[in-house]
């Protein structure tokens, strides 16, 4: 469909918070996918939202010295990578500045260390989820949705995912064809397989596959499972997730284990973790060791320290910290995660930890009211940051140190600004957990003011 806007020519002066090129024109700002600072281009404006324009490069006029040839031929279409065409050093500089700018917007003039990058910023993702469908010629395809749509861009090799995943997906598509199953069609609501999710272990040869289906029972299931495992013997766990709803949500509420124990095992800093299909587990197994090593360094733990780990998930930070501290209490509101955390403590024979299913601020206050004293608090919240109740609880109960791990610089800076009433801001360290994308993880160290 032809755009109602005319093409414009402009020069990129910056990158936005979401990694889009920023072009300033007399009548407004245009955000452009795949345009980098210093580049001039003819821009096809696609739509206007909230007073700003959004577009794509129609013709590149001048190129940045930081523009490179991408490994992936469909990176500009799939929407998964914003920076495949951007030199890695430039990506790291952008991410460092992104964290600096977030703190500056919240009135905090602080020193931010340079982002820690990877030696090889490819093939790092240990978790992928891809839709299954048919192309216009009727061939079974998998890939990623084109940005802003539900049209599948067929991908045979994703350059940021673990290579094991691509091989399994290819065998899965062959099996669908061999067993005469139909992939799900969103338009008609007909078909069996909707998505395939793959989680790979870095330290062990373990792979978990979750098949999202529209119905529980299907003909030939047992033979299908046997043949899948035969063709892909590194699959240690095969899970079926049933999602019969007309929804964009990938996973349904009902699951059954088709093969294996329901878990795979991986390791972070010599602590083993069992991971289930819905466990939160960092997607970059190499950089997660960098991230957590730095978090433990910031905490400066000793054998007399008692630690509180808010938003503890399956116990990753808790159990790593327990090796250096006197005692660790991890709290998580998701009961399945707490079950996994307790199982992981037992797996590693770590006895100086306990895990509680509760709201983090409520649990923290209850424990302090029971005369429990915490020296260090770790917070690793979801993207929306720490809720106001937790902020107020920390300000009220005043632990000596807070180590804040964040996947969202804007909410990190907002929360640190509020905590700075009682805490001085120490080191701030970005870590590139997500190369080729605009995302960045950051650790902040806060010390109670004396």
Catalytic residues: 407
3-class secondary-structure state, position 39: coil
Residues 100-138 as b/e (b if ≥16 CB within 10 A, e otherwise) read bbbbeebebebebeebbbbeebbbbbbbbebbbbeeeee
Distance from C-alpha of 187 to C-alpha of 168, rounded to nearest angstrom: 27
- Is residue 265 classed exposed, middle or buried when 0-12, 13-18 and 19+ CB atoms within 10 A define those classes? middle
For the record, the structure tokens of 62 come out as 């001048």
Which residues touch 193 (CB under 8 Å, ≥6 apart)? 132, 176, 181, 182, 183, 184, 211, 212, 213, 214
Phi, psi (5° rounding) for residue 86? -115, 130
* Helix, strand, coil percent content, the chain, rounded in steps of 5: 25, 35, 40
Phi, psi (5° rounding) for residue 317? -65, -40
Residue 426 is given by DSSP the state E
Signed CA dihedral, 356, 362, 364, 368: sign only: negative
Which residues touch 252 (CB under 8 Å, ≥6 apart)? 212, 241, 242, 243, 244, 245
Count of beta carbons in the 10 Å neighbourhood of residue 222: 8
Distance from C-alpha of 434 to C-alpha of 117, rounded to nearest angstrom: 9
Distance from C-alpha of 33 to C-alpha of 76, rounded to nearest angstrom: 8
Find where tokens 């159990």 sit: 319
Instruction: Give the DSSP H/E element, type plus range, for residue 57.
Output: strand 52-62
Q: Is 210 left (phi over 0), alpha (psi -120 to 50) or beta?
A: beta
């Amino acid at each position: 469909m032809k755009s109602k806007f005319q093409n414009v020519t402009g020069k990129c002066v910056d990158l936005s918070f979401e990694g889009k090129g920023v072009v300033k024109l007399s009548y407004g700002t245009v955000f452009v996918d795949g345009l980098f600072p210093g580049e001039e281009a003819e821009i096809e404006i696609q739509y206007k939202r909230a007073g700003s324009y959004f577009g794509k490069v129609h013709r590149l006029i001048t190129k940045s010295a930081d523009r490179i040839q991408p490994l992936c031929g469909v990176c500009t279409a799939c929407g998964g990578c914003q920076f495949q065409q951007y030199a890695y050093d430039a990506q790291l500089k952008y991410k460092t500045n992104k964290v600096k700018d977030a703190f500056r917007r919240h009135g905090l003039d602080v020193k931010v260390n340079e982002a820690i990058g990877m030696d090889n910023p490819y093939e790092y993702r240990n978790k992928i989820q891809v839709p299954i469908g048919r192309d216009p010629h009727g061939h079974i395809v998998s890939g990623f949705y084109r940005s802003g749509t539900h049209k599948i861009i067929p991908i045979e090799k994703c350059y940021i995912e673990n290579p094991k995943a691509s091989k399994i997906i290819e065998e899965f598509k062959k099996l669908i064809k061999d067993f005469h199953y139909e992939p799900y069609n969103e338009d008609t609501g007909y078909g069996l397989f909707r998505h395939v999710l793959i989680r790979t272990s870095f330290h062990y040869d373990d792979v978990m596959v979750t098949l999202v289906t529209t119905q529980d029972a299907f003909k030939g299931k047992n033979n299908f499972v046997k043949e899948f495992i035969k063709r892909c013997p590194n699959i240690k766990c095969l899970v079926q997730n049933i999602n019969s709803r007309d929804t964009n949500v990938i996973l349904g509420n009902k699951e059954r284990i088709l093969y294996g124990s329901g878990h795979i095992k991986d390791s972070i800093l010599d602590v083993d973790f069992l991971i289930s299909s819905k466990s939160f587990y960092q997607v970059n197994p190499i950089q997660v060791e960098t991230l957590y090593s730095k978090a433990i360094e910031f905490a400066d733990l000793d054998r007399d320290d008692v630690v509180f780990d808010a938003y503890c998930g399956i116990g990753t930070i808790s159990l790593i910290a327990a090796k250096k501290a006197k005692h660790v209490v991890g709290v998580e509101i998701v009961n399945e995660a707490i079950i996994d955390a307790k199982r992981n403590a037992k797996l590693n024979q770590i006895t100086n930890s306990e895990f509680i299913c509760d709201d983090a601020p409520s649990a923290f206050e209850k424990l302090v009211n029971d005369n429990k004293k915490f020296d260090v608090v770790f917070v690793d919240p979801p993207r929306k940051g720490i809720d106001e109740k937790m902020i107020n609880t920390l300000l009220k109960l005043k632990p000596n140190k807070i180590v804040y791990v964040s996947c969202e610089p804007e909410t990190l800076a907002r929360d640190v600004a509020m905590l700075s009433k009682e805490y001085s801001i120490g080191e701030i360290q970005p870590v590139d957990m997500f190369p080729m994308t605009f995302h960045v993880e950051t650790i902040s160290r806060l010390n109670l003011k004396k």
